[in-house]
Amino acid sequence: MTTSSSNSYDRIPLTDSIIKASITSNGLLLKNQSSIFLNSVNASSNGCFPSCFSSATATASSSKLDLNYDSNGEVLIPYRNILWIDTAAKHSTVSSSTTSSKDLLPESSLNDNIFQLNYVLRDAENSIAKPFKINIDIENKLNETNDNIISNIMGKSYKDSQPGKSVLVIVNPNSGQGKAIKLYHTEVEPILKIANYKIDILKTLYNKHAEEFVKELDINKYDMIICASGDGIPHEVINGLYLRKDRAQAFNKLVITQCPCGSGNAMSLSCHH
């Protein structure tokens, strides 16, 4: 079993400008920033994800993304789309590029008052979520501390859940005619990374490997088990947990989900449609 590296996260480009935003009851409003935001999205979408996304998603433009607007036509990032926010100073700095527009803040202003926002947008054509990162300057902070602002936004974004979960990903390398690992690393892992999940990966080596593994698993280490496979691995995981003496506790503690990486994915189709 391996701990996932940050490579897929690092390949998600950070937009080269700092965008002004306001906190609203429904999300973060990019007031008078729509054109700048859409240009940033287009720059990130067109050719910037060659090793991180499939060609189908890499070529999507903002016109194909499921964007939200307020009544004045300004771009709104709903709380449900926000995966993580922190002070930008803890992350990479903005790259050196043109910031001549009056709507952009100079690179030198990157400090504890600038936030890095990690979020997703849905591709309207194929419903695949795409991760993005932007630096924002929140205008209506009033006298709130950065910690309070972050806590407020994260609390609204994870209203019924807990951020930064610890997950065990079980991948069957043979699923999907051998494409399961690539599908996981290109379509799933970038979103887990941008949400600041702690990830361990188990690649199964033989039949019932997953069943044996979860039967002896320390369930206190994880919040979730993600099966990147066809129908077989979820069955093995459920069977393995059922064979435990503390199975009731295990089923109550762990969320078990599937990222369909098989050929037919009949179980996912049955569960989600």
Q: Which residues are catalytic?
A: 231
How many other CB atoms are there within 10 angstroms of residue 185's CB atom? 18
Ranges of beta strands (E only) in 88-233 are 114-122, 129-138, 166-171, 198-203, 224-229
- For residue 228, report the phi and psi dihedrals to the nearest 5 degrees: -95, 90
User: Cβ distance 176 to 183 under 8 Å?
Assistant: yes
C-alpha to C-alpha distance for 40 and 38, rounded to whole angstroms: 5
Residues 6 or more apart whose Cβ sits within 8 Å of residue 46: 58, 59, 61
The one-character DSSP state at 191 is: H
Distances from the Cα of 73 to the Cα of 69, 70, 95, 238, 252, angstroms: 5, 5, 29, 47, 44
